[in-house]
């Protein structure tokens, strides 16, 4: 478990896989959750707000010689959210937002990976938040550094697609678009 944060869909999660421009295939089958992060940004009253998720579990099976066979999964503990405000963190647990009493986890599971150019990949998968599952596509860049693969990705979600921030919060005080970034660190196998 990562003691720092990242999840939200946000999420997302999501993980990435890729081929390296070297002659030798590389496999990544473990995620170092302590070194990995999931963060998000959104606007509230026109000000940019940053947050993270501190607890998540990630799995990865990625061979650069065969990225189309790759698989990734992510489970985020939604009550580990940290927006920098204890009041906001508490509010986000309530039924109008994540409703963590009913839906304590957000999950992502990949359904396909397409290799693109320059160590970039497109990962398609199912994101489930508040019991609602949507297909998402996540662009990911794989950077290899000293026998470690770093999968960097980001996506933008609409919180209204998952009924997050309903009722009085649906009026636009908090932006509907939430930008999610992740950095998954995996040792070379």
Mean pLDDT of the chain: 87
pLDDT of residue 13: 35
pLDDT of residue 25: 82
pLDDT of residue 39: 97
What is d(CA 95, CA 142) in angstroms, rounded to the nearest whole number? 37
pLDDT of residue 2: 44
Pairing state between β 132-145 and 56-63: unpaired
**Closest Cα to residue 159, out of 53, 48, 49, 10?**
10
pLDDT of residue 151: 97
Residues lower than pLDDT 70 in the chain: 1-23
What is d(CA 86, CA 117) in angstroms, rounded to the nearest whole number? 42
pLDDT of residue 171: 77
Which residues of the chain form beta strands (DSSP E)? 27-28, 37-44, 47-53, 56-63, 71-77, 81-82, 105-115, 120-129, 132-145, 148-158, 177-187
27-187: CATH superfamily? Lipid/polyisoprenoid-binding, YceI-like (2.40.128.110)
């Amino acid at each position: 478990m990562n003691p720092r944060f990242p999840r939200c869909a946000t999420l997302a999660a999501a993980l990435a896989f890729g081929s390296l421009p070297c002659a030798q295939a590389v496999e990544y089958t473990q995620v170092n959750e302590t070194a990995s992060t999931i963060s998000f940004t959104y606007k509230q009253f026109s000000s940019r707000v940053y947050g993270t998720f501190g607890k998540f579990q990630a799995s990865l099976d990625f061979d650069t010689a065969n990225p189309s066979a790759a698989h990734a999964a992510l489970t985020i503990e939604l009550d580990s959210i940290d927006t920098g405000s204890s009041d906001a963190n508490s509010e986000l647990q309530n039924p109008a937002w994540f409703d963590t009493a009913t839906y304590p986890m957000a999950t992502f599971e990949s359904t396909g990976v397409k290799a693109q150019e320059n160590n970039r990949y497109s990962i398609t998968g199912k994101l489930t938040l508040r019991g609602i599952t949507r297909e998402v596509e996540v662009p990911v860049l794989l950077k290899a550094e000293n026998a470690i693969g770093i999968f960097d990705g980001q996506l933008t979600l609409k919180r209204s697609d998952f009924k997050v921030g309903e009722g009085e919060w649906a009026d636009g005080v908090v932006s509907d678009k939430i930008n999610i970034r992740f950095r998954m660190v995996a040792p070379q196998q």
